[in-house]
């Protein structure tokens, strides 16, 4: 019996060790097969995505394995500022090859946190940017769209409070029958909330 269990255990452990992309990162790997399969297959047509998470459970990088027309990885970095807010939303960055789902190194500064090895975003801003107010509410004051042409044309947001003159008015109606028809008189009685 031991002679049978040892080889089977070795095969199972080998398969488990081979399936791991990394031992140091938290990730979720998903495969969507584009053709019928009966078991997990690396050779079948598929869409494979690996999403990496930081220590707080926030997404930090999405790797679309062999997603470009040339069969190269497309990586979307997700960066946070010092307060844990995502103020820069990066476009996916095509890579020069494939890491078969392994994480790419990224920096927290510069226009190309994962690098732009293909030069597709040369001299461009491959991210949209949110300018937030300095309060715990983190309301958006400005939003700048992707591209250097839009850097000087932000969308402005404004926040105002209601005053007593902005109150919702309360109307009442009195309906009576006059000559076999209804006659309604509309009047403002007060404001709601007063």
pLDDT of residue 76: 92
Backbone dihedral region for residue 156 (phi beyond 0: left; psi -120 to 50: alpha; all else: beta): beta
Q: What percent of the chain has a predicted confidence (pLDDT) above 90?
A: 48
pLDDT in tens, 1-31: 555 544 444 444 334 444 577 888 999 999 9
Distance, in Å, from the CA atom of 119 to the CA atom of 78, rounded to the nearest integer, reads 20
pLDDT exceeds 80 at position 115:
no
In Å, what is the CA distance from 106 to each residue of 88, 92, 93, 97, 128?
14, 13, 11, 16, 18
Pinpoint the alpha helices (H) of the chain.
2-19
Q: To which residue do tokens 């190309």 refer?
A: 112
pLDDT in tens, 116-127: 667 788 888 889
Full-model pTM: 0.70
């Amino acid at each position: 019996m031991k002679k049978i269990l040892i080889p089977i255990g070795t095969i199972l452990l080998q398969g488990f060790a081979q399936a791991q992309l990394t031992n140091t990162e938290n990730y979720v790997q998903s495969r969507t097969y584009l053709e019928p399969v009966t078991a997990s297959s690396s050779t079948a047509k598929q869409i494979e995505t690996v999403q990496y998470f930081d220590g707080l459970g926030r997404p930090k990088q999405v790797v679309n394995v062999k997603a470009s027309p040339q069969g190269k990885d497309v990586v979307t970095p997700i960066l946070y500022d010092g307060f844990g807010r995502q103020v820069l939303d990066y476009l996916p960055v095509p890579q020069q090859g494939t890491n078969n789902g392994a994480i790419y190194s990224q920096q927290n500064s510069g226009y190309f946190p994962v690098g732009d090895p293909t030069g597709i975003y040369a001299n461009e801003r491959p991210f949209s940017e949110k300018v937030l107010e300095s309060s715990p509410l983190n309301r958006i004051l400005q939003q700048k769209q992707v591209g250097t042409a839009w850097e000087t044309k932000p969308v402005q947001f404004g926040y105002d409070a209601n005053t007593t003159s902005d109150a919702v008015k309360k109307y009442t109606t009195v309906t009576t029958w006059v000559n076999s028809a209804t006659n309604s008189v509309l009047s403002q009685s007060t404001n709601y909330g007063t």
